[in-house]
């Protein structure tokens, strides 16, 4: 199981408490404890000092009281105890698992146990109160979760869905349907009102244009079908002749005129020049 842990097991850095201003870095790997120190000082003597580094095995660190004292002074007693536990092989496997795996484990617990687990650490409090946990809890205890329930959970939260009875859920869903229908009807009514307003504006513009034409009779006269505006040409001078019809020649007319639809040579009188 320990082989599945990532390396390093623990890592922390920070500045020592006043009056010291030195910077320290502690690393706990699977086989060693690494202690680094950067001396920060305005003294000329410490100007060229290099960072110090100390590497010890887990067993050597457990008996090195001097290094343990430095770790306790810089990072506190809890960090020292945690480092000693790692050196003794007491690994916190749960803390190193991913959130998705922890959520699957938590869902096998009873609700009372989940409440107790949420009081153990900040991470478990966040996981036990997350929407992901309550969504999984609802889906595990229900055969099917409809799209309407999922949409309602997006508004009120999965925890509220979990502690709501089926009858109350049906009431909430029906109210949500009515609210959605009212909103859709309101949108449709708004569109109809805009359409009516547009039609009213169009009718008003048409009436205005008609009144302008009545107030100017010259324009109406110029737009009459028997007269072209701006000219003295009478449109009645045109004859309505159907190009597809062949009118009969009148009596006394020259029958030698070409008839529409026949070749020109058949209707011509050829004069022979002597």
Asked if 103 contacts 127 with a C-beta cutoff of 8 angstroms, the reply is yes
Tokens of 122: 């900040």
Rounded distance between C-alpha atoms, residue 142 and residue 56, angstroms: 55
Total residues belonging to the chain: 274
In Å, how far are 113, 123, 133 from 119, measured between CA atoms? 10, 10, 16
More confidently predicted of 214 and 113? 113
Q: How high is the pLDDT of residue 99?
A: 87
Domain ranges of the chain: 2-95, 146-188
Query: Is the pLDDT assigned to residue 198 strictly greater than 70?
Result: no
Query: Is the pLDDT assigned to residue 175 strictly greater than 50?
Result: yes
Q: What is the mean pLDDT of residues 224-234?
A: 45
Rounded distance between C-alpha atoms, residue 95 and residue 120, angstroms: 11
Rounded distance between C-alpha atoms, residue 257 and residue 248, angstroms: 12
Three-point CA angle 84, 76, 38, nearest 5°: 95
Q: What is the mean pLDDT of residues 230-242?
A: 44
Query: Residue 131: which of 156, 112, 114 has the closest Cα?
Result: 156
- pLDDT single digits (tens) 123-137: 899 999 888 888 888
Asked if 97 contacts 123 with a C-beta cutoff of 8 angstroms, the reply is no
What percent of the chain has pLDDT above 90? 21
In terms of average pLDDT, the best of 27-31, 191-195, 252-256 is: 27-31
Tokens of 220: 């109406």
Rounded distance between C-alpha atoms, residue 86 and residue 186, angstroms: 65
Lowest mean pLDDT among 49-53, 139-143, 207-211, 238-242: 238-242
Show Cβ contacts of residue 11 under 8 Å, excluding neighbours closer than 6 positions.
25, 26, 27, 28
């Amino acid at each position: 199981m320990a082989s599945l842990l990532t390396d390093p097991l623990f890592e922390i850095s920070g500045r020592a408490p006043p009056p010291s201003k030195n910077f320290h870095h502690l690393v706990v790997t699977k086989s060693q404890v690494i202690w680094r120190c950067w001396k920060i000082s305005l003294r000329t003597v410490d100007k060229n000092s290099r960072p110090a580094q100390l590497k010890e095995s887990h067993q050597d660190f457990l008996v090195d009281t001097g290094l343990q004292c430095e770790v306790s002074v810089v990072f506190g007693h809890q960090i020292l105890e945690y480092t000693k536990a790692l050196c003794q092989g007491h690994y916190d496997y749960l803390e190193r698992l991913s959130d998705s795996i922890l959520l699957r484990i938590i869902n096998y617990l009873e609700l009372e146990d989940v409440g107790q687990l949420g009081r153990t650490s900040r991470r478990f409090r966040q996981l036990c109160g997350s929407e992901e946990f309550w969504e999984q809890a609802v889906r595990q205890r229900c055969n099917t979760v409809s799209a309407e329930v999922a949409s309602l959970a997006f508004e009120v939260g999965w925890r509220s869905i979990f502690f709501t009875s089926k009858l109350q859920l049906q009431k909430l869903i029906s109210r949500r349907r009515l609210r959605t229908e009212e909103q859709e009807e309101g949108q449709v009514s708004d569109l109809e009102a805009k359409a009516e307003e547009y039609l009213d504006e169009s009718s008003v513009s048409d009436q205005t244009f008609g009144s302008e034409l009545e107030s100017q009779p010259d324009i109406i006269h110029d737009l009459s079908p028997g007269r072209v505006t701006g000219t003295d040409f009478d449109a009645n001078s045109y004859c309505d002749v159907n190009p597809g019809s062949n009118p009969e020649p009148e009596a006394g007319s020259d029958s030698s005129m070409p008839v529409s639809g026949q070749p020109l040579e058949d209707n011509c009188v050829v004069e022979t020049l002597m």
